[in-house]
């Protein structure tokens, strides 16, 4: 859940992978089959998955689904009530609210996805290097992580975004430069627990290169816990991006983004509360869906509770 996502300094409250040896299944393949079976039985997780699938489809198909151009200003139609032409009414500039919400799905989801991909691109190599190489490399990386965790994550992201100036790209940079830390820590822990396992030692003694060992034997084990964490975390990521956009740091007008739309609607609270209500509901739906799926995935992929409190 979003609130607890950055544990004391960084990661899910109690969702930390404890560095106990022997809790990771020996083969990654043997893990996925039963996990999917378990997931199939979890109705709430499936509901979350379905909602996410619909939202992604809406994002992709936005040009076909939106009844109007989301950025077209029609000043004669401003703050209009719902009608056949504008199913949810219009905003303060006469833009179609429904179309903006639909395009907003695209903006919000893709921003979060890009941010997440960037976080992975940083945290997987860094975490693996720390865990696998060890020694001074590990020490250096861990000290950098300690320093970054001395700041409350959201505040560091805010300050970085604030220094860089408004814009979605800057928000993504700010979020990624703060968020990778928690992942890197978890990944390091997993790598540490696997690298002394027999199958890794066997691979090494049979002459497999370090690169080969990492790619073929270690990364597959890192993947499933990281997928769970990422799914659980997607909600907070979306909330953080929407929050920065709400403050005016993210998407700039006229881009339809949910957080920014909410902020735009604020002055019209009394006359047109729907301008605030709908974007908020959209954010909540997506975040809730990710949280439901994340909880389900965690239970399914991690029955022993390695990732659980």
Partner 1 sequence: MVKRYLCKRLLYLLPVMLGVSLITFGLINLAPGDPAEIILRAGGVEPTREAVEALREELGLNDPVYVQYLRWLWNVLHFDLGTSFRTGMPVTQELWARFPATLELTLAAMVVMVLLAVPAGILSALYRHTFIDHFSRICALVGASLPSFWKGLMLIYFLAVVWGIFPVMGRGGLRHLVLPAVTLGFGMAAVYTRILRASMLDVFGQEYIKVARAKGLKERWVIGRHALKNALLPVVTLFGMSLGHLLGGTVIVETIFAWPGVGKFVVEAIFNRDYPVIQGYALFVAIVFVLVNLLVDISYVFLDPRIRLERGAGE
Is residue 33 a contact point for partner 1 (CB under 8 A)?
no
Q: How far is the CB of 14 from partner 1 (least distance, A)?
A: 7
Query: What binding mask, one character per residue, do residues 207-246 give for partner 1 by CB under 8 A, x or -?
Result: ----------------------------x---x--xx--x
Is residue 9 a contact point for partner 1 (CB under 8 A)?
yes
Return the number of the residue (187 or 292) whose C-beta is nearest partner 1.
Answer: 292
**Whose CA is closest to 256, among 234, 275, 284?**
275
Return the number of the residue (174 or 300) whose C-beta is nearest partner 1.
Answer: 174
Number of residues that bind partner 1 (CB under 8 A): 55
Query: If you search the block for the tokens 């970085």, which residue do you land on?
Result: 160
**Whose CA is closest to 276, among 289, 263, 288?**
263
Return the number of the residue (58 or 242) whose C-beta is nearest partner 1.
Answer: 242
Query: What binding mask, one character per residue, do residues 242-261 give for partner 1 by CB under 8 A, x or -?
Result: xx--xxxx---------x--
Look at residue 151 and give its three-state secondary structure. coil
Return d(Cα 89, Cα 285) in angstroms, integer: 21
Is residue 283 a contact point for partner 1 (CB under 8 A)?
yes
Q: Which of 31, 102, 129, 156 binds partner 1 (CB under 8 A)?
A: 156
Q: How far is the CB of 167 from partner 1 (least distance, A)?
A: 11
The separation between the first and the last C-alpha atoms of the chain, rounded to the nearest angstrom, is: 12
Return d(Cα 87, Cα 269) in angstroms, integer: 19
Reduced to 3 DSSP states, what percent helix, strand and coil does the chain have, rounded to the nearest 5?
Answer: 70, 0, 30
Going from the C-alpha of 23 to that of each of 183, 279, 306, the distances in angstroms are: 19, 42, 7
Q: How far is the CB of 247 from partner 1 (least distance, A)?
A: 6
Return d(Cα 152, Cα 297) in angstroms, integer: 27
Return the number of the residue (123 or 170) whose C-beta is nearest partner 1.
Answer: 170
Return the number of the residue (31 or 116) whose C-beta is nearest partner 1.
Answer: 116
Given a contact cutoff of 8 angstroms between Cβ atoms, the answer to whether 148 and 161 are in contact is no
Return d(Cα 144, Cα 150) in angstroms, integer: 10
Contact residues toward partner 1 (CB under 8 A) are: 1-4, 6-9, 13-14, 143-144, 146-148, 150-156, 158-160, 162-165, 235, 239, 242-243, 246-249, 259, 262-263, 266, 269-270, 273, 276-277, 279-280, 283-284, 287-288, 291-292, 309
């Amino acid at each position: 859940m979003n609130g607890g996502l950055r544990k004391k300094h960084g990661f899910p409250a109690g969702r930390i992978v404890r560095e106990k040896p022997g809790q990771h299944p020996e083969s990654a393949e043997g893990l996925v089959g039963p996990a999917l079976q378990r997931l199939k039985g979890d109705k709430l997780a499936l509901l979350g998955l379905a909602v996410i699938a619909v939202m992604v489809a809406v994002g992709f198909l936005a040009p076909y689904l939106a009844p109007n151009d989301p950025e077209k200003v029609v000043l004669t139609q401003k703050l209009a009530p719902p009608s056949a032409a504008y199913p949810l009414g219009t905003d303060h500039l006469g833009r179609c609210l429904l179309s903006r919400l639909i395009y907003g799905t695209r903006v919000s989801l893709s921003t979060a996805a890009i941010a997440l991909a960037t976080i992975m691109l940083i945290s997987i190599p860094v975490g693996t290097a720390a865990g696998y190489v060890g020694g001074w490399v590990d020490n250096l990386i861990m000290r950098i992580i300690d320093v970054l965790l001395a700041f409350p994550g959201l505040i560091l992201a805010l300050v970085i975004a604030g220094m860089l100036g408004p814009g979605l790209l800057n928000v993504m940079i700010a979020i990624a430069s703060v968020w990778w830390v928690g992942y890197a820590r978890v990944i390091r822990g997993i790598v540490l627990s696997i690298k002394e396992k027999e199958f890794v030692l066997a691979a090494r003694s049979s002459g497999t290169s370090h690169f080969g060992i990492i790619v073929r034997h270690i990364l597959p084990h890192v993947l499933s816990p990281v997928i769970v964490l990422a799914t659980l975390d997607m909600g907070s990521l979306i909330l953080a991006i929407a929050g920065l956009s709400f403050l005016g740091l993210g998407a700039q007008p006229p881009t339809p983004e949910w957080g920014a739309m909410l902020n735009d609607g604020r002055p019209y609270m009394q006359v047109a509360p729907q301008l605030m209500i709908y974007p908020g509901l959209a954010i909540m739906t997506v975040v809730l869906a990710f949280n439901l799926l994340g909880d389900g995935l965690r239970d399914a992929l991690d029955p022993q509770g390695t990732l659980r409190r």
